[in-house]
Amino acid sequence: MNLKSYFTEHRSEHLKQLQEFLSIPSISALSEHKTDIQKAAEWLADQLKSFGMKRVELLPTKGNPVVYGEWLHAPGKPTVLIYGHYDVQPVDPLHLWDSPPFEPAIRDEKIYARGATDDKGQVFMHLKSAEAFMKSEGKLPVNIKFCLEGEEEVGSPNLDEFVEQHKELLAADMLVISDTTMLGKGKPAICYGLRGLCGLQINLKGPKGDLHSGLYGGAVQNPIHALAELLASMHDDSGKVTVDGFYDQVVPLSIEEREAFTALGQTDKDLQKELGVPALFGEQGYTALERSWARPTLEVNGIWGGFQGEGTKTIIPSEAHAKITCRLVPDQDPEQILDLIEKHVHNHLPAGVTAEVIRFDKGKPFVTPFDDEAIQAAARAYEQAYGVAPAFTRMGGSIPIVETFGRLLELPVVMMGFGLPEENFHAPNEHFHLENFDTGLLTISYFLQEIEKLGEKK
């Protein structure tokens, strides 16, 4: 079959389906979207069934279901496990979106919607590639299993257990994930390393109720002051994390790796311009790329306490709160890092308040050797579709499940991402460039053909 003409012919039909998928507000962080999560999972299952995937089901977890489907009729050929997620990030602040996040709009050959690039758009491409083979040739070039989860954006709290319990069902020769980004327009990349993640919330409590700041100001600790002091104690002036022991397990960047990063030609100046900041900022002695790919971070993702309305309210609030997540690199351990931070909170707690720490979100960092034959097959597929060899990169983001899959199923992980860094992942006006939708469909299809050539591995 001619894949190029197939995808050209079906383009408008595919985009219509993608818009339908993106219009389901499957936000996993907000419980009021529980039925939307279910709807998105069922939408995927219907799609998988429609082009002949077998054993399609919503497999329950303690949280949102995993959508599973398989086609195992390519004897002697490798089995490819495809992972993706159908849940999306919250959409606030809503007023910064140019079009509603769940009314997908195509402008300038980009599709705008929450989940367009992270990760519904990319999941959809794997479906359409498999469908292309099934509809044209009645079969797939390799064996395929889909494992699509609905809790990635809240840290995949139930997937470890799910994979552990379904080791046989999920057994495969390699895992493919499209949830990372390219280096830039026309610059494909295969990601061989991801940062890990751990998160916590700090709740500080002072007086039993909000107090009049005139009557009591000066007499008691203000929980916001205490929180500011506590958070400020977690970084030095250059942004280096000052939590005791935080960097102890970090594997230093090798000279070779730093040279390879530099060779990618991404300058700090370009990044500063892209992000619209007065200056880049972070740990001294590293480029911004090194800091975001291969150094750990501790970020306060949210803070709140007291009065946020119009005008003033002269109170000392009873409580103040912060949400923190850390990005981790090999060989940091999420549990151990949470222990260190919790210890820091208690050791640096200002007088006059009490602290509660709630833990969530854990994923280990992950690095895979990029001379693996599955990764090299992906590289050939990219070259065929894009006309250039892909770069081998690491990424600052976390897909906690990557490390779990790699460890529990003992298989190489191929991260083929088609997003662009400027596509507003997790932010207002998230979008996906249709040129990478088109070329990505080809890349994924060529990849399956390249894997077919490898023959049976197990």
Provide the minimum distance between the beta carbon of 421 and its own copies in the complex, in angstroms, as a whole number.
Answer: 6
Q: Which residues inside 425-444 make contact with its own copies, applying CB under 8 A?
A: 425-429
What sign has the CA pseudo-torsion 260, 264, 270, 276?
negative
| 4-12, 45-53, 421-429, 440-448 -> range binding its own copies (CB under 8 A) | 421-429
Closer to its own copies at the Cβ: 3 or 420?
420
Q: Is 119 helix (H, G, I), strand (E, B) or coil?
A: coil
Taking the complex as a whole, the smallest distance from the CB of residue 51 to its own copies amounts, in Å, to: 32
Residue 138-177 contact track with its own copies, rule CB under 8 A, x = bound: ----------------xx----------------------
DSSP state of 401: H
Closer to its own copies at the Cβ: 283 or 373? 283
Q: What is the closest distance, in whole angstroms, from the C-beta atom of residue 248 to its own copies in the complex?
A: 18
* Binding status of residue 321 toward its own copies by CB under 8 A: yes
Q: Could you give the CA distance from residue 149 to residue 91 in angstroms, rounded to a whole number?
A: 20
Q: Assess 95 for contact with its own copies (CB under 8 A).
A: no
Tell me which residues in 354-383 interact with its own copies (CB under 8 A). Answer: 354, 360-361
Choose the stretch contacting its own copies; rule: CB under 8 A; options: 7-15, 72-80, 89-97, 403-411: 89-97
Q: Is 341 in the site for its own copies (CB under 8 A)?
A: no
52 versus 390: smaller Cβ distance to its own copies: 390
Contact map string, positions 269 to 308, toward its own copies, x by CB under 8 A: --x---xxxxxxxxx----xx-xx--xxx-xxxxxxxxxx
Rounded CA Rg of the chain: 23
Q: Which of 70, 87, 319, 423 is catalytic?
A: 87
Between 360 and 392, whose beta carbon lies closer to its own copies? 360
Q: Identify the residue among 310, 369, 371, 410 touching its own copies (CB under 8 A).
A: 310
Rule CB under 8 A: is residue 100 a binding residue for its own copies? no
CB neighbours of 68 closer than 8 A, spacing ≥ 6? 55, 56, 57, 58, 59, 145, 146, 147, 148, 169
Q: Which two tokens stand for residue 362?
A: 């854990």
Q: Taking CB under 8 A as the rule, does residue 218 contact its own copies?
A: yes
87 is catalytic: yes
Q: Quick one: which of 325, 393, 404, 445 contacts its own copies (CB under 8 A)?
A: 325
- For residues 387-416, which are near its own copies according to CB under 8 A? 395-398
Task: Answer yes or no: 450 catalytic.
Answer: no
Q: Does 12 bind its own copies (CB under 8 A)?
A: no
Quote the CA–CA distance of 273 and 167 in Å, as a whole number. Answer: 46
Q: Does 44 bind its own copies (CB under 8 A)?
A: no
**Do 22 and 102 form a contact (C-beta atoms < 8 A)?**
yes
Q: Which of 212, 269, 346, 453 binds its own copies (CB under 8 A)?
A: 212
Q: 52 or 155, CB closer to its own copies?
A: 155
Structural contact between residues 415 and 192, judged by C-beta atoms closer than 8 angstroms: yes
Q: Which amino acid is at 201?
A: Q
Distance from the Cα of residue 436 to its chain's centroid: 18
**Closest CB to its own copies among 137 and 268?**
268
Residue pair 23/42 in contact (Cβ under 8 Å)? The answer is: no
Which of 124, 149, 64, 89 lies closest to 401 in space, CA to CA? 149
- Rounded to whole angstroms, the Cα distance separating 372 from 374 reads 6
How far apart CA 90 and CA 115 sit, in angstroms, is: 10
Neighbour-count burial of 111, counting CB atoms closer than 10 A to its CB (0-12 exposed, 13-18 middle, 19+ buried): buried
Contacting its own copies within 47-86 (CB under 8 A): none
Least Å distance, CB 117 to its own copies, is 11
Other CB atoms within 10 A of residue 20 CB: 13
Structure tokens at 80: 């490819």
Stretch of 41-49, 88-96, 161-169, 248-256 contacting its own copies, by CB under 8 A: 88-96
DSSP tag of 187: B
Answer whether 90's CB lies under 8 Å from 29's CB. yes
Interface with its own copies (CB under 8 A), residue from 13, 16, 109, 214: 214
Task: For residue 352, state whether it binds its own copies (rule: CB under 8 A).
Answer: yes
Among 118, 131, 149, 152, the active-site one is: 152
Residue 146 · residue 71 · CB < 8 Å: no
76: left (phi over 0), alpha (psi -120 to 50) or beta: left
Q: Is 445 in the site for its own copies (CB under 8 A)?
A: no
Nearest approach, Cβ of residue 205 and its own copies (Å): 9
> Pairing mode, if any, of strands 174-177 and 189-194?
unpaired
Catalytically active residues are 87, 152
